[in-house]
């Protein structure tokens, strides 16, 4: 039986495989992946902002295999060195004082939501449990995280949603300010909205949210699950804005391809959760943490992030040169770029795939480019040439 037939028969049908379920991937190396027919593709999806160091980066592979030969798992009843070292690196390079490890972005946000509620009760009163998030946001698929997600299409069929969430307009400070009341405990936003269509926050918006949180003793929580870990040319996207959160969440790119989630907090927020409040069997697993330590070592190399920023500008410049009337907007930060088109995005994705380039489309109209951060200008040139042909064919 083919992989496709096995999947149809045995896997619950939750994913729209890309496009029309035609691709079964077998191998990856650097910026390329190969399908089971041996065809090579330039990967501008990167496992949706996961393979930031490309596929099977030798240092990540070495860290995983070396740790796997020593200790693959132990309970969080015991200490392990890779976990402690990863926490130390994260704290040393970000405003956080302490971190909690879990296994995915949704779980990291769940942890942040629990922390925010407890912080609210301790600091603003028993009623303070409500979290303001943004319309068009995405925070994951578990019940509280999907309720935090300000897109009704993700709620449909799963009501009643978790209580205690309300939604302001992204980049509209007044709409957030109007929602603050005695029930509020936190504000949660992505510095660059990903699944919502690749929309960077404005500086005034993030700075205004910081001020609003300070005035009302609210926690400011940044979801850096997609835009973090070097994706925008800084370790964390908020560094572009100079606005620091009280709590932030990470996942995706941190594990170099292995599942990880982090919820990090600073100041009083770092001491809100106490033994018994929260836990994860696999959180901080030594193999995953060894991989994450290798990822951070690469990304924190000074040259690395500067290069991402420069490549992002080069890529955006090339996209802007594309002379196609169907292109409505090009936006993003670093190597997290969206191109809004007036046409069928799925058709463009398919045409690119047929020409050896993997890209993604959100909401039917926004092409999303999330290439591995280790690519060269030459890869960008190839991708733009393919895209130009695909746009000519489809728009």
The residue nearest ligand PLP at its CB is 105
Please, which residue, 225 or 337, has the CB nearer to ligand PLP?
225
Active-site residue 138, yes or no? yes
Please state the separation of Cα 58 from the chain's center in Å.
23
Residues that bind ligand PLP (CB under 6 A): 104-106, 109, 138-140, 190, 194-195, 223, 225-226, 251
> Please, which residue, 56 or 362, has the CB nearer to ligand PLP?
362
| Nearest distance in Å: CB 293, ligand PLP | 19
CB of 192 to ligand PLP, least distance (A): 9
Q: How far is the CB of 190 from ligand PLP (least distance, A)?
A: 5
Active-site residue among 44, 100, 119, 138?
138
Q: How far is the CB of 343 from ligand PLP (least distance, A)?
A: 24
138 or 241: CB nearest ligand PLP? 138
Residues 6+ apart with CB under 8 A from 180: 132, 212, 216, 218
- Nearer to ligand PLP (CB atom), residue 149 or residue 353: 149
252 catalytically annotated: yes
Shortest Å, Cβ 257 to ligand PLP? 13
Residue 312 and residue 333 in contact, taking contact as beta carbons nearer than 8 Å = yes
For ligand PLP, which is the closer residue by CB, 130 or 190?
190
Of these residues, 252, 316, 350, 365, which one is catalytic? Answer: 252
Catalytic residues: 138, 223, 252
């Amino acid at each position: 039986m083919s992989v496709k037939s096995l999947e149809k028969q045995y896997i619950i049908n939750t994913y729209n495989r890309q496009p029309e379920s035609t691709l079964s991937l077998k191998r990856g190396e650097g910026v390329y992946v190969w399908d089971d027919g041996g065809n090579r593709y330039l990967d501008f999806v990167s496992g949706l902002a996961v393979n930031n160091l490309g596929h099977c980066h030798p240092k990540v592979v070495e860290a995983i295999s070396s740790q796997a030969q020593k200790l693959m798992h132990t309970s969080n009843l015991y200490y392990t060195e890779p976990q402690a070292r990863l926490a130390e690196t994260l704290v040393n390079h970000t405003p956080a004082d302490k971190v909690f490890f879990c296994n995915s972005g949704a779980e990291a946000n769940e942890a942040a939501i629990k922390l925010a509620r407890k912080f609210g009760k301790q600091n603003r009163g028993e009623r303070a449990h409500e979290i303001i998030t943004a319309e068009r946001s995405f925070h994951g698929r578990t019940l509280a995280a999907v309720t935090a997600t300000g897109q009704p299409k993700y709620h449909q069929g799963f009501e009643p949603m978790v209580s205690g969430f309300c939604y302001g307009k992204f980049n509209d400070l007044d709409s957030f300010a109007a929602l603050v009341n005695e029930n509020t405990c936190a504000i949660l936003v992505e510095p660059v909205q990903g699944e919502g269509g690749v929309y960077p926050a404005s500086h005034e918006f993030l700075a205004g949210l910081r001020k609003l949180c300070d005035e009302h003793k609210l926690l400011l929580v940044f979801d850096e699950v997609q835009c973090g870990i070097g994706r925008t040319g800084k370790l964390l996207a908020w560094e572009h804005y100079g606005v620091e959160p009280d709590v932030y969440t990470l996942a995706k790119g941190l594990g170099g391809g292995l599942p990880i989630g982090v919820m990090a907090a600073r100041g009083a927020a770092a001491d809100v959760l106490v033994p018994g409040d929260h836990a994860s069997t696999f959180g901080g697993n030594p193999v995953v943490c060894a991989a994450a330590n290798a990822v951070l070592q690469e990304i924190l190399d000074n040259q690395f992030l500067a290069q991402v920023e420069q490549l992002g500008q080069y890529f955006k410049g090339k996209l802007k040169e594309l002379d196609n009337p169907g292109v409505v907007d090009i936006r993003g930060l670093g190597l997290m770029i969206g191109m809004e088109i007036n046409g069928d995005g799925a058709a463009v994705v398919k045409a690119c795939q047929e020409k050896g380039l993997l890209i993604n489309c959100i909401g039917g109209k926004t092409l999303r480019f999330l290439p591995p951060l280790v690519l060269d200008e030459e890869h960008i040139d190839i991708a733009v040439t393919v895209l130009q042909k695909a746009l000519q064919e489809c728009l």
